[in-house]
Structure 1
């Protein structure tokens, strides 16, 4: 891997891939804002749903991921539960804990607002060969790691 000197002006090239990655990263908040407005949710509630779409997690983990207090996290989960977007369930391996699970109706609501984008991304992904996809995955995984270190 080539070491990049970021301290010298002009020492690294702003390539098209870096420019496009920054553009995609910048679009995230716009997509979240659009979904929040269309679904009648706050952007924080949409952000919680994004995390829950990956896997069930507990309210304390939601608080950590959203950088809010556990009391605020409880309020977020309460509001999402009242709308039928999540359910609280006993944790699979530790009955003392609760996990929050995304419901099928929440997935349907998100798809109703973002389905066109999801479809276009799925078609784009399907157009890649396995070797092309491996390069994209390696690049994006590295981008995720770099962004995670910055936050």
Structure 2
């Protein structure tokens, strides 16, 4: 890469960051596969874990069409992981709500990763955490510059 971008020099931190990016790209596919879900279904559960969404909003965060989102919701509903409910403020609208089954699926599949990340984070001193945060936010900004 140094021949294309002169200021780029391989380093242990850049190698570790690339490894993290590569693994992070594989995690949703592998977790979804182990759960018998599509990656869109897994991402839907993850978003719905935070708060209910309308089908159009879910389609937007997934980056798919409303029809594709509806299919995802249908499949998750058939497994008992989500329910369609009337919107509490506008009965003409519908919202998708994660069920206890869906919450348990997300927790069961992702909790080990979050526990490991919390353990790594807890082992850092406040000064180390500040350096890591600055590095990761800078890396994120460099990647977002492509979007």
Q: TM tier, shorter chain?
A: 0.7 to 0.9
The answer for the alignment partner of 1:72 in structure 2 is: 68
In structure 2, the gaps of 5 or more residues are: none
Cα shift readout 1:57-83 (whole Å, capped 9, x = no counterpart): 322122222222101111101111221
Aligned to 1:42: 38
Work out whether residues 86 and 103 of structure 1, in 8 Å CA contact, stay in contact via their aligned partners in 2: yes
| CA gap 1:27/1:8 in 2 versus in 1, 3 angstroms | closer
Q: TM-score, normalised by structure 1?
A: 0.74
Q: 1:7 to 1:27 in 2, by over 3 A?
A: same
- The one of 22, 27, 39 equivalent to 1:26 is 22
Q: Give the Cα–Cα distance (whole angstroms) in 2 for the partners of residues 137 and 93 of structure 1.
A: 39
1:35/1:110 contact within 8 Å kept? no
In the superposition, the TM-score normalised over structure 2's length comes to: 0.76
How many residues align? The count is 146
- RMSD over aligned CA atoms reads 2.8
Give, in whole Å, the separation in 2 of the partners of 1:131 and 1:94.
Answer: 48
Equivalent residue for 1:143, pick from 136, 139, 144: 139
Asked whether the 8 Å contact 2:48–2:97 carries over to 1, the reply is yes
Structure 2: how far apart are the matches of 1:98 and 1:131?
A: 47
Distance in 2 of aligned mates of 1:138 and 1:58: 35
Contact 1:58 1:98 in 2 (8 A): yes
* Structure 1 unpaired stretches of 5+: 1-5
